[in-house]
Amino acid sequence: MAHHKSAIKRWHQSLRERERNRSRRTRARNAIRKLREAVAAGDAAAISEALSKAYSAVDRAAKKGAIHDGKADRLKRRMAALVNKHQQPAA
C-alpha cells in the first residue's frame, strides 16, 4: 500500500479508471457478440445496425485507452470480413 498522500490519490484514481476500462471492454465485447449473433441469424438490417454499434464501441474503447489501437483495428477488420463473408453469395 502506498504511504504518500499523492501515491494514495493516484492509487484511488487507478481503481476508478480500471472500472471504467473494464466497462468499456465489456461493452465492446458484447457488441461484437451481438454482431456475431446477427450474422448467424442472417438478418441484413440487424447486421448493419450491429456492425455500426460494434465499430463505435471498439473505437470508443481504443480512444479511451481501454484497448490498444492495434487490437481495435484488428477487431474491426475481422468484423468486416465476417460481414463480407456472410453477404457474398455461396458459389
Give residue-wise pLDDT tens across range 32-60.
999 999 999 988 999 999 999 999 999 99
Give the per-residue pLDDT at 88: 74
pLDDT band, residue 86 (cuts 50/70/90)? confident
For residue 79 the three cell numbers come to 468484423
Reported as a single tens digit per residue, the pLDDT across 72-84 is 999 999 999 999 9
Task: List the one residue out of 53, 56, 44 whose CA is nearest residue 84.
Answer: 44
> Could you tell me the residue ranges of all domains in the chain?
5-87
- What pLDDT does 91 receive? 54
Residue of 1 and 55 predicted with greater confidence = 55
Q: What burial class does residue 22 get, using C-beta atoms within 10 Å of its C-beta: 0-12 exposed, 13-18 middle, 19+ buried?
A: exposed
Class of the 5-87 domain? Answer: mainly alpha
